Amino acid sequence: MTAYQTILPEQVTTWFRAGHTHQFPAGAGATVKYGNRQIAVFYFHRNRRWYACQNLCPHKLENVLGRGLIGEQDGIPKVACPLHKRTFSLETGENLNGDCPPVAVYPVRVEGEDVYIGFAD
Amino acid sequence: MQRIVVIGNGMVGHKFCDLFARHPRRGDFRLTVFGEERRPAYDRVHLSAYFADRDADKLALATRAWYADRDIELRTGELVTELDPERRILRTHLGHEMTYDYLVLATGSVPFVPPVPGKDKSGVFVYRTIEDLDAILDYAARLRQLPGARATVMGGGLLGLEAARATLDMGLATDVVEFAPRLMPRQLDEGGAASLRTTLEGLGLKIHLSRSTTAIGGNGCITHLDFADGTQLETDLLIISAGIRPRDELARKSGIAVGPRGGIVADRHMRTSAPDVFVIGEAALYRDMIYGLVAPGYEMARVALSTLMRDADPACMPESIDLSTKLKLIGTDVASFGDCLPQPGTARSIVYRDEAGGVYKRINVSPDGRRLLGGILVGDAADYNRLHQIYRNQLALPPQPQDLILGSRGSGGGDAGAGISELPEAAVICSCENITKGQLCGHLEAEQAHSVKDLIACTGAGTGCGGCKPILSDLVEQHLKARGKVVRHLLCEHFPHTRQELRDLIVLRQLRTYDEALDELGRGHGCEVCRPALAGIFATVYAETANPQAVIQDTNDRFLANIQRNGTYSVVPRVPAGEITPDKLIAIGAVAKKFGLYTKITGGQRIDLFGARLDQLPPIWEELIAAGFESGHAYGKSLRTVKSCVGSTWCRYGMDESVSFAIEIEERYKGLRSPHKLKGGVSGCIRECAEARGKDFGLIAVEEGYNLYVCGNGGARPKHAVLLAGPIDRRTAVRYLDRFLMFYLRTAGPLVRTAKWLETMEGGIDYLRSVVMDDVLGIAAELETEMQGLVNGYRCEWKEVIEDPEMRARFRPFVNTDDTEELEFVPLRDQQMPKPW
């Protein structure tokens, strides 16, 4: 868990190229690897917004969030863990329906057809 | 700043802290809490839950951080041993001293252990703290190696029966010994206790009544009990649950008044005889009684705080304390309220008894038949909330008071909310948090709350025992109805429709995709509720598999396999009706061996292959399909299996070839997506080896054909299927099944299984029969045509994936590398399993 820390856009030192836009499904998530870390990337195609968070669900510590259903709750974009349906805000990382610790979220930038995730290391 | 000290960090002591932290004048005080146990406060009401997983955190009422955040000093593992009320000073076993301005004694109680010789032998326990439970578990684990080990619980009260369930669950043969001539003597009358006894004996408990234990025998360890009547009972473990004694020794030593039989004397404001010293919870003697229930204890905490804080209108204890309780005992419900055991001549009793069903209900009505005085419910306590509210608020009774327990004799409850509107504003709905109907309605009317969830968040109602949640839900429905809003179970915030309305709209407007539906009928971006619900509708309207719109499928459907504990998947190929050739068995074995999968036979007569990585799914399917298999849809809200017995093919009792018929039916409905999972069964005779009546639909062969049963299920809320039609021939059975299933697919809410669907259907099974058999809606032909369309449209969705490279890309674990997931397994009986959480 300590490997994952939320990064704000102003903290980014490395923009890591995660892939080509068409490699990411519209309206769902996919997973990328950054060193030993697994990052889930989500594309909300209806408003063309991208989000990224740790793939590790803090509830049972399994690498599964990238396979969860996405959606929104009161305007907050979220992902639901496929194992026990804990939902996490993709803006702040907080657990929206329980008292799990938050997930780390990362900024995403799209340039042309390339998707980049921001890290501070 | 003044200092408050609370002695005792049990449930009531914690409640005091919780209320204190929320009090507007809390800033004028410092609060220190002493707890004798090592852990911060935990939930003793649900203590027996600890036996299931030994997870003490689940019982915790608060963490140390909770206290720290509220600036309350919590000192656990520290016992207060001396108290000087004159100098307002106390001293702990560590020698620390502290002065106070106000003191709250929340010292609780200890289990009463009768003075029987031998009570110190090893294997004798009480049932109060997590440490007690740990000791019992450790001892029972050692006993299990002893063949025929037995446990005994002394005391047939509520706590004793919970303890008995626990030892039974530990695999120990269990006896219950009660001194009184009946179980739960304080809550139940003879009839109720007898009914409870029959149910418990059916579960394997041995009950011994009117037994007085004179000695606990054994040489070092307990081996038996001696009774006053000269008999003996062999046992290897004893749990004593013979009542409680208040912890009043500290008060007694320091000259605070205690009752002749123990308990610290309290007045209506929970003040003791010493100035500014209060007592709350099980240590308090109020109106000559000790109260072992949590609700009165919470009330005491509220009253003591209000008095101590000098609230403008300080609360005081009611004249009489409501001792009503509803309990979930071993496999049955027990409730009692008000005056459950009235003196003869003071009440008229109405009793309903169903010996076969283990149900006993009694209500006590005033001699003039106008008021409800109390009652007892055993086996079925569904009426408890309603009756309890009628009793507490002294509502007028119907002209025939027996309707209260025999009422709603038509089908399905439905009138649960009827009593709510009659409740006065002052009626306490949540007794744990002391929240009235008026307060709840206030939030609804001020539009601060629109749902049960909101009410809980606004008021804290329902956060204690949770028993009032059904009433909260009734209040919300009533409120909406009263405002002319039709109460509909809307899908979610993105679609203001019920599932049935959405389905009709999608058909009417010929909408083909989730995005189109969201554009035309919904708003926003959707969520994990509406996406799979609409996926299910598209599947039942257009025979669409889970592949074209994979991103809206529930997670298992998206990957066409069942996600398991460590994020790997399990794979279940279809084995129609459980019939399989040796070659196919070998093929499954070969695949499992090749991919290192754990194999297990499922409950649905198939074989489950566990531990497949995401990227391994398509190659596994490829091999299975080559061997003649297809998807078993074990991951979907869809038809799973049609279980069969071997029928007249081999069985000497069989009335028909149930296997052939089961295969025909499974082949017909395979892949059928539905509001919830669907299971079927076909039995060759009434011995019912296929357990068809435990399924959503079941066929049982009889002399003249088949009987068709519908709407049963196993699982958490088992329900037997009910007879829809029969005896009928196979062709008619399939036609009725087509109509029944299609009607369910059309009208049920999302994730509503057939049993629940029937339960809430107006008119119940009679209505369903009239739709399916008599075609009162005139849609039978339409239903059959629609079903035939879905049957014709079937495709194996595994096959779709392996034939399409684009779909296969979905199963790549990482976008930017060909690495596979790294997973840890541990060995298990010649196979492997994920490492434990």
Contacting residues of B for A70, CB less than 8 Å apart: 525, 528
Q: Which residue of A has its CA nearest to B554?
A: A69
pLDDT of residue B416: 38
Q: Do B815 and A24 touch (CB under 8 A)?
A: yes
What tens-digit pLDDT sequence spans chain A (121 residues)? Answer: 678 989 998 999 999 999 999 999 999 999 999 998 999 999 999 889 999 999 999 988 899 999 999 999 888 999 999 998 899 999 999 999 877 889 999 999 999 999 999 999 8
Among residues B666, B612, B625, the alpha carbon closest in space to that of B644 is found at B666
Residue of chain A minimizing CA distance to B564: A83
Mean pLDDT of B364-369: 86
State the number of CA atoms in the 13 A half-sphere of B54 facing the CB.
9
How many residues make up chain B in this entry?
A: 837
Model pLDDT for residues B725-752, shown as the tens digit of each residue: 989 999 999 999 999 999 999 999 888 8
Beta sheet of B562-563, edge-to-edge order:
B562-563, B569-571, B607-612, B598-601
A84 touches chain B (CB under 8 A): no
* B-chain residues near A30 (CB < 8 A): 815
Assigned fold of B124-242: FAD/NAD(P)-binding domain (3.50.50)
Report DSSP state, residue B524.
Answer: T
- The string of pLDDT tens digits covering residues B768-814 is 999 999 998 899 999 999 999 999 999 999 999 999 998 999 999 99
Per-residue burial over B261-271, b if 16 or more Cβ lie within 10 Å, else e, is: ebbbbbeebbb
Segments in B38-96 forming alpha helices (H): 50-53, 56-59, 64-69
Contact across the interface for A32 and B555, Cβ inside 8 Å: no
Residues forming a β-bridge with A117: A16, A108
In tens, the pLDDT along B68-117 reads 999 999 999 999 999 999 999 999 999 999 999 999 999 999 999 999 99
Average pLDDT over residues B309-315: 86
Q: For chain B, say whether A36 makes contact (Cβ under 8 Å).
A: no
Test A82 with B563 for CB contact under 8 angstroms: yes
- Evaluate whether residue A52 is within a structural domain: yes
The backbone region for B751, taken as left when phi is positive above 0, alpha when psi lies in -120 to 50, beta otherwise, is left
Distance from the Cα of A68 to chain B's closest Cα (Å) equals: 6
| B586: confidence class by pLDDT, cuts 50, 70, 90 | very high
Highest mean pLDDT among B377-391, B619-633, B753-767: B619-633
Choose from B534, B814, B817, B820 for mutation: most chain A CBs within 10 A. B814
Cα(B389)–Cα(B699) distance, rounded to whole angstroms?
A: 44
Sign for the pseudo-dihedral over CA of B530, B517, B501, B448 = positive
* Amino acid A1: pLDDT: 63
Q: What angle do CA B108, B110, B112 make, to 5 degrees?
A: 140
User: Does residue A105 lie in a domain region?
Assistant: yes
Q: Tell me, yes or no, if A30 comes closer than 8 A to chain B by beta carbon.
A: yes
The CA distance from B306 to B314, in Å, is 5
Is there a domain that residue A2 lies in? Answer: no
Is B528 in contact with A62 (Cβ distance < 8 A)? Answer: no
Q: Where in chain B is the domain with CATH 3.50.50.60?
A: 2-110+246-308, 124-242
Contact B814 A64 (CB under 8 A): no
Say how far apart CA B71 and CA B599 lie, in whole Å: 54
- Residue B715 pLDDT > 90: no
Note the pLDDT of residue B330: 65
Token pair of A63 as six digits: 């690498």
- pLDDT mean over B624-639: 96
Which residue, among B649, B658, B588, has the nearest Cα to B623 in the 3D structure? Answer: B588
Q: Is residue B373 a contact partner of residue B342, using CB atoms and an 8 Å limit?
A: yes
Question: If DSSP codes are grouped into helix, strand and coil, which group holds residue A86?
Answer: coil
| Partners of residue B217 on adjacent β-strands | B224
- Buried (b) or exposed (e) across B802-820, using 16+ Cβ within 10 A? beeeebeebbebbbbeeee
**Interface mutation target, options B492, B815, B835, chain A, most CBs of A under 10 Å:** B815
Q: What is the mean pLDDT of residues B229-238?
A: 94
Does any CB of chain B come closer than 8 Å to the CB of residue A26?
yes
| Interface membership of B716 toward A (CB under 8 Å) | no
Whole-angstrom Cα distance, residue B127 to residue B231?
A: 26
Q: Is B490 on the interface with A (CB under 8 A)?
A: no
Cα dist. B120→B37, B108, B134, B153, B219 in Å?
22, 23, 18, 16, 11
ipTM of this predicted structure: 0.92
Q: Which residue, B321, B265, B262, B266, is CA-closest to B291?
A: B321
Q: How far apart are CA B683 and CA B656, in angstroms?
A: 9
> Which H or E run contains A71?
strand A69-73
Q: Would you mind telling me the total number of residues written for chain A in this entry?
A: 121
Question: Is A80's Cβ below 8 Å from some Cβ in B?
Answer: yes
User: Chain B contact for A85, CB < 8 A?
Assistant: yes
Choose among B28, B29, B30, B43: nearest CA to B75.
Answer: B30
- pLDDT tens digits along B437-491: 888 988 888 888 888 888 888 888 877 666 677 788 888 877 877 776 656 677 8
Cα dist from B30 to B74, B101, B102, B322, B631, whole Å: 12, 10, 10, 33, 65
DSSP string covering B354-371, please? ETTTTEEEEEEE-TTS-S
Residue B614: closest CA among A62, A16, A106, A90: A62
pLDDT digits (tens, 9 = 90+) for B331-359: 678 899 988 888 888 888 888 888 777 88
Give me the mean pLDDT over the B225-242 stretch.
Answer: 94
- Smallest Cβ distance to B815: which of A23, A60, A61? A23
**CATH 3.30.413.10 location in chain B:** 639-792
Res B385: pLDDT: 82
Mean pLDDT, chain B, rounded, equals 90
| Percent of chain B scoring above 70 in pLDDT | 97
pLDDT at B465: 66
The answer on pLDDT for B293 being more than 90 is no
What is the chain A residue with the closest CA to B822?
A: A63
What residues of chain B lie within 8 A of the CB of A77, using their CB?
Answer: 525
- pLDDT for the residue numbered B49: 82
A1 within domain boundaries? no
What are the Cα distances from residue B184, in Å, to B151, B164, B188, B192, B293?
Answer: 19, 13, 6, 9, 15
CATH class of B639-792: alpha beta
- A60 to chain B, any CB pair closer than 8 A? The answer is yes
What pLDDT score does B414 carry?
A: 39
The better pLDDT of the pair B396, A36 is held by A36
A52 touches chain B (CB under 8 A): no
A46 contact residues in B (CB cutoff 8 A): 515, 518, 525
For residue B410, the model assigns a pLDDT of 38
Assign residue B317 a region (left: φ > 0; alpha: ψ between -120 and 50; beta: otherwise). beta
Of the candidates B518, B530, B567, which has its C-beta nearest A64's C-beta? B567
Say yes or no to pLDDT of B406 above 80: no
Which of A43, A62, A97, A100 is the best mutation test for B, with the most CBs of B within 10 A? Answer: A62
CA distance A5 to chain B (A): 21
Q: Which residue has the higher pLDDT, B448 or B276?
A: B276
Nearest to B555 among A17, A24, A69 (CB): A69
| Torsion-angle region of B4 (φ positive above 0: left; ψ -120 to 50: alpha; else: beta) | beta
Instruction: Please state, for a pLDDT cut of 90, what percent of chain B lies above it.
Output: 61
Q: Is B531 on the interface with A (CB under 8 A)?
A: yes
Tell me the per-residue pLDDT of B519-566, one tens digit each, with 9 for 90 and over: 999 988 899 889 999 999 999 999 999 999 999 999 899 999 999 988
Angle at CA B207, nearest 5°, toward B203 and B212? 160
CA distance B484 to chain A (A): 25
pLDDT interval class at B383 (50, 70, 90): confident
> By the 8 A CB rule, do B746 and B785 touch?
no
Pairing verdict, β B598-601 and B562-563:
unpaired
Q: For residue B331, what pLDDT is reported?
A: 66
Contact between residue B88 and residue B99 where contact means Cβ atoms under 8 Å apart: yes
* Residue B527 burial (10 A CB sphere; 0-12, 13-18, 19+): buried
A94 - beta bridge partners?
none
Chain A: residue whose CA lies nearest to B824: A62
Instruction: Nearest by CB to B815, from A30, A68, A87: name it.
Output: A30
Q: Residue B412: what pLDDT?
A: 38
Predicted local confidence at residue B499, as pLDDT: 86
B183 pairs with which residues across the strands?
none
For B345, which DSSP code?
T
Choose the closest CB to B563 out of A38, A83, A87: A83
- What residues in A contact B807, CB-CB < 8 Å? none
Q: Give the distance from CA A86 to its chain's centroid.
A: 14
Distance (Å, whole) CA B692 – CA B666: 13
Beta-sheet strands, E only, within B562-702: 562-563, 569-571, 598-601, 607-612, 639-644, 678-683, 697-702
pLDDT average, residue stretch B179-187: 90
Pick the CATH number of B2-110+246-308 from 3.30.460.10, 1.10.1040.10, 3.30.70.1400, 3.50.50.60: 3.50.50.60
Indicate the number of domains in chain A.
Answer: 1
Q: What is the CB-side half-sphere exposure of residue B85 using CA atoms within 13 A?
A: 18
* A59 contacts in chain B (CB < 8 Å): none
Q: Which domain holds residue A34?
A: 9-119
CA separation (Å) from B645 to B665, B686, B700? Answer: 14, 11, 10
Contact B551 A25 (CB under 8 A): yes
Reported confidence tier of residue B387, pLDDT bands at 50, 70, 90: confident
Residue B107 near residue B79 (C-beta atoms within 8 A): no
- Per-residue pLDDT at A39: 96
Q: Choose from A45, A54, A60, A69 for mutation: most chain B CBs within 10 A.
A: A69
| CATH number, domain containing residue A82 | 2.102.10.10
pLDDT value for B380:
84
| Contact state of B837 with A30 under an 8 Å Cβ cutoff | no
Asked if residue A80 is part of any domain, the answer here is yes
What residues have CB less than 8 Å from B516, skipping those under 6 apart? none
- The answer to whether the beta carbons of residues B161 and B330 sit under 8 Å apart is yes
